[in-house]
Amino acid sequence: MADGFADIEKLYQVRFSPTEQASRQRVWQVLCDDFFSRFIAETDTVVDVACGYGEFINAVRCARRIALDLNPESRRHLRSDVTFFNQSCERLDAIADGSADVVFESNMLEHLPDKTVVTGVVREVYKKLKTGGRFILLQPNIRYTGGAYWDFYDHFIPLTHLSCAELLQNCRFRIEHMIPRFLPYTTKSALPQHPLLVKLYLRLPLVWRVLGKQFLIVAVKPGE
Show me where the domains of the chain are located.
2-220
- Tens-binned pLDDT, residue by residue, of the chain (224 aa): 334 444 655 555 555 555 566 778 899 999 999 999 999 999 999 999 999 999 999 999 999 999 999 999 999 999 999 999 999 998 899 999 999 999 999 999 999 999 999 999 999 999 999 999 999 999 999 999 999 999 988 999 999 999 999 999 999 999 999 999 999 997 655 556 788 999 999 999 999 999 999 999 999 999 86
Nearest Cα to Cα of residue 134 among 94, 177, 163, 164: 177
Q: Which of 48, 54, 108, 105 is nearest to 76 (CA)?
A: 54
Per-residue DSSP letter, 135: E
Q: Are strands 100-106 and 82-85 parallel, antiparallel or unpaired?
A: unpaired
> What are the b/e assignments for 134-172, b being 16+ CB within 10 Å?
bbbbbbbbbbbbeeebeeeeeeebebbbeebbebbeebe
How large is the C-alpha radius of gyration of the chain?
Answer: 16
Topology, domain 2-220: Rossmann fold (3.40.50)
